[in-house]
């Protein structure tokens, strides 16, 4: 399976030497433009946003960025990617190798989240096997074995996490040939349906129900959508591990959301009414007089779902911004203020 290299730096429009802050800014700018909730052209916006989100998932995380950089700088966006020899990626799609049986299942997912390139380099986000042990067919029954469980990731927007949604996904996989039941032969001849391989490729479309209040890391189970069983063995299950999309306006931490709010010096001093984004839309909040950079205003219950029906909080984090360019008139006002002010921050 050919995999296309992703140039995450190019996707975010930053250089390889950009600082973490520059990368964050580039992401926020692009995410505002292409976020499915904001973008004018929803379809294009969504595809583009996924790409941006994936790029930031890597470049916005020092560990992942380092690993990505270790691939070297000579790769080109869209060129065929082969992991360097000895490259180890954690996890993977399948729960356990089936090498001893000579089986090789390839699963490809559409509409769930990260690209094949991402999966190849970083493994499934969870990086682990499903916790349930694969159940084997009862011993002594020849060639009958339950299929393995399969795990992948599903990227969920914060709005979806809150309200729930139905998402179409495409799953392309190798299945036991229905004509020859995996033997590769019919009437002592090569099976025409699978050319003797015993397997055929099947493309399946499912609707995945994302329940309201879904938690990050939670696994959605699609019974019987895993690897096919051997012989009369049942198919395994497909688990989709929920992973939240990065949001241009919010940082996430343990169910709480953080939103940086830039304010003018006079708003900080005098107090102000400003509009801030929440997952429910924009609301008015009051900036108290004398607010400082780093100060947090809490909007209780406006965070992410927690266990049960609880919700985390939204913290608006104040950042007092100073104008870098001012007019002559403004300069005169600041000079007056400097002369008359009784404020002496170093006394």
Chain contacts with Zn ion (rule: CB under 5 A): 177, 179-180, 191, 193-194
Minimal distance, residue 194 CB to Zn ion, in Å? 3
Task: Give min distance, CB of 133 to Zn ion, in A.
Answer: 30
Please give the C-alpha separations between residue 133 and each of 89, 90, 93, 275, 329, in angstroms, as whole numbers.
Answer: 21, 18, 15, 50, 73
Nearer to Zn ion, 184 or 255 (CB): 184
Q: Shortest gap between Cβ of 204 and Zn ion (angstroms)? A: 18
Q: Which is nearer to Zn ion, 136 or 179 (CB)?
A: 179
Nearest alpha carbon to residue 11 among 153, 115, 167: 115
**Smaller CB separation from Zn ion, 38 or 175:** 175
Strand 281-287, strand 272-278: pairing: antiparallel
Compute the distance between CA of residue 250 and CA of residue 242 in angstroms, rounded to an integer.
18
What is Dmax (Cα atoms) for the chain? 101
Q: Minimum distance from CB of 197 to Zn ion (Å)?
A: 7
Q: How far is the CB of 189 from Zn ion (least distance, A)?
A: 11
Q: Which residues of 264-286 are buried (b: 16+ CB within 10 A; e: fewer)?
A: eeebbeeebebebbbbeeeeebe
Q: Which is nearer to Zn ion, 193 or 297 (CB)?
A: 193
CB-nearer residue toward Zn ion: 198 or 236: 198
Distance, CA of 273 to CA of 288 (rounded, Å): 9
Choose among 84, 78, 21, 26: nearest CA to 55. Answer: 26
């Amino acid at each position: 399976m050919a995999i296309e290299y992703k140039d995450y730096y190019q996707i975010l429009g930053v250089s390889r030497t950009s600082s973490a802050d520059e990368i964050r800014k580039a992401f926020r700018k692009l995410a505002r433009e292409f976020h499915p909730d904001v973008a004018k052209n929803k379809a294009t916006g969504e595809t583009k946003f996924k790409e941006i989100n994936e790029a930031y998932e890597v470049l916005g995380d020092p560990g992942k960025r380092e690993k990505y950089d270790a691939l070297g700088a000579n790769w080109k966006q869209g060129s065929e990617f082969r992991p360097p020899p000895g490259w180890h990626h954690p996890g993977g799609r399948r729960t356990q190798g089936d090498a001893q049986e000579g089986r090789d299942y390839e699963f490809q997912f559409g509409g769930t989240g990260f690209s094949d390139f991402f999966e190849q380099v970083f493994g499934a986000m969870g990086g682990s096997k499903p916790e349930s042990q694969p159940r084997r067919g009862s011993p002594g029954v020849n060639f009958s074995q339950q299929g393995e469980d399969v795990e992948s990731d599903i990227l969920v927007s914060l709005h979806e996490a809150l309200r729930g949604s139905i998402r179409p996904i495409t799953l392309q996989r190798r299945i036991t040939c229905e004509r020859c039941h995996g033997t590769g032969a019919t009437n002592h001849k090569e099976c025409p349906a699978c050319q003797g391989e015993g397997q055929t490729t099947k493309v399946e479309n499912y609707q995945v129900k994302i329940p309201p209040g879904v938690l990050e890391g939670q696994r959605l189970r699609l019974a019987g959508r895993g690897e096919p069983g051997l012989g009369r063995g049942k198919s395994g299950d497909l688990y989709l591990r929920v992973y939240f999309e990065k949001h241009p306006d919010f940082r996430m931490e343990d169910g709480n959301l953080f939103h940086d709010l830039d304010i003018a010096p006079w708003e900080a001093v005098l107090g102000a009414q400003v509009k801030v984004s929440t997952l429910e839309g924009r609301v008015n909040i009051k900036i108290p007089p004398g607010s400082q950079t780093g100060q947090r205003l809490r909007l209780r219950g406006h965070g992410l779902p927690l266990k049960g029906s609880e919700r985390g909080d939204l913290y608006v984090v104040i950042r007092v911004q100073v104008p870098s360019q001012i007019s002559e008139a403004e300069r005169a006002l600041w000079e007056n203020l400097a002369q008359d002010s009784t404020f002496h921050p170093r006394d």
